[in-house]
């Protein structure tokens, strides 16, 4: 398996533009997570899905952020409009199962977003 | 989930053992202790996890205090490739989700 795939790897955009980050989880995994990492705040959980359904989006910073998972093999994180403070590395992770037994999370390589 | 406390940074000489401490004084009986690490410019990766007993795998060992209020990740022979940020995370086994809350971690520098 190729692991968790994220695209693009780097994104540079101007303030006010719409940004869409993409993630393909490991095949068969039923949990998908979006994280954001900055120097100031570290690694933060934004939202996670179980079987394509959003379960907890309490980490999403504001209405400018939205995430979808239309099917088991694809998820998007959209920022509209983008602001300079959104500049960060965004990670997608997936796992098989959740709750009760331990389920290792597998992380993608991340998307480095720069908003000018 | 209960909170963990780790030193911000540590140094080790190459090929020597490294002991990375983690305090979790408010741990509950159903909290698992997980360790992940993040190599430079990469996403975090799983290292090891445990509940009460010490654990060993090919990457590291996890020593858990008898009262479970602290634990130590042991790298038996540090290599340059082990330079990373190491995160100690608690997760309640009865939680319905599988989310992790990462703290600030310990940045390990390995000196050649």
Q: What is the pLDDT of residues B39-95, one digit of tens each?
A: 999 999 999 999 898 999 998 999 999 999 999 999 999 999 999 999 999 887 776
* Predicted pLDDT of residue A1: 65
User: What gap in Å lies between CA A33 and CA B94, rounded to an integer?
Assistant: 19
User: What gap in Å lies between CA A86 and CA A79, rounded to an integer?
Assistant: 8
Tokens found for residue B27: 């741990």
Per-residue pLDDT, averaged over B13-18, amounts to 96
Tokens found for residue A91: 């990670």
| CA-based max dimension of chain A | 43
pLDDT by residue (tens digit) across A26-70?
999 999 999 999 999 899 999 999 999 999 899 998 899 999 999
pLDDT above 90 coverage of chain A, percent: 82
In whole numbers, what is the pLDDT of chain A averaged over residues? 93
Residue A31 near chain B (CB below 8 Å): yes
Query: Which residues pair with residue B85 across a beta bridge?
Result: B38, B107
Residue A81 near chain B (CB below 8 Å): no
Would strands A53-56 and B84-92 be described as parallel, antiparallel, or unpaired?
unpaired
Q: Pick from A4, A45, A107: which is nearest to B99 by CB?
A: A45
Residue A113 near chain B (CB below 8 Å): no
Tell whether omega for the bond before A8 is within 30 degrees of 0, i.e. cis.
yes
Per-residue pLDDT, averaged over A4-11, amounts to 97
Beta-strand ranges (E) seen in B1-112 are: 9-13, 18-23, 31-38, 45-50, 55-56, 61-64, 70-75, 84-92, 106-111
* Predicted pLDDT of residue A98: 62
Q: Which residues of A touch B99 (CB under 8 A)?
A: 33, 45, 48, 56
């Amino acid at each position: 398996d190729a692991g968790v795939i994220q695209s693009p790897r780097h994104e540079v955009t101007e303030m006010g533009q719409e940004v869409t980050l993409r993630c393909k989880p490991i095949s068969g995994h039923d949990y998908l997570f979006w994280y954001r990492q900055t120097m100031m705040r570290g690694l933060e959980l934004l939202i996670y899905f179980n079987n394509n359904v959003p379960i907890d989006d309490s980490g999403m910073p504001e209405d400018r952020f939205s995430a979808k998972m239309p099917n088991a093999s694809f998820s998007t994180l959209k920022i509209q409009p983008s602001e300079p403070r959104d500049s960060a590395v965004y990670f997608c992770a997936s796992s098989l199962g959740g709750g009760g037994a331990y389920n290792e999370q597998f992380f993608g390589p991340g998307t480095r977003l720069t908003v000018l | 989930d209960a909170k963990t406390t780790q030193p911000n940074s540590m140094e080790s000489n190459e090929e020597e053992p490294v002991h990375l401490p983690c305090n979790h004084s408010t741990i509950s009986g159903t909290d698992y202790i997980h360790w992940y690490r993040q190599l430079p410019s990469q996403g975090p990766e799983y290292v090891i996890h445990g509940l009460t007993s010490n654990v060993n795998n090919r990457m590291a060992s996890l020593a858990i205090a008898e009262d479970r209020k602290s634990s130590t990740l042991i790298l038996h022979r540090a290599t340059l490739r082990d330079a990373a940020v190491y995160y100690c995370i608690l997760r309640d086994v009865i939680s319905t989700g599988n989310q992790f809350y990462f703290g600030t971690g310990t940045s390990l520098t390995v000196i050649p």
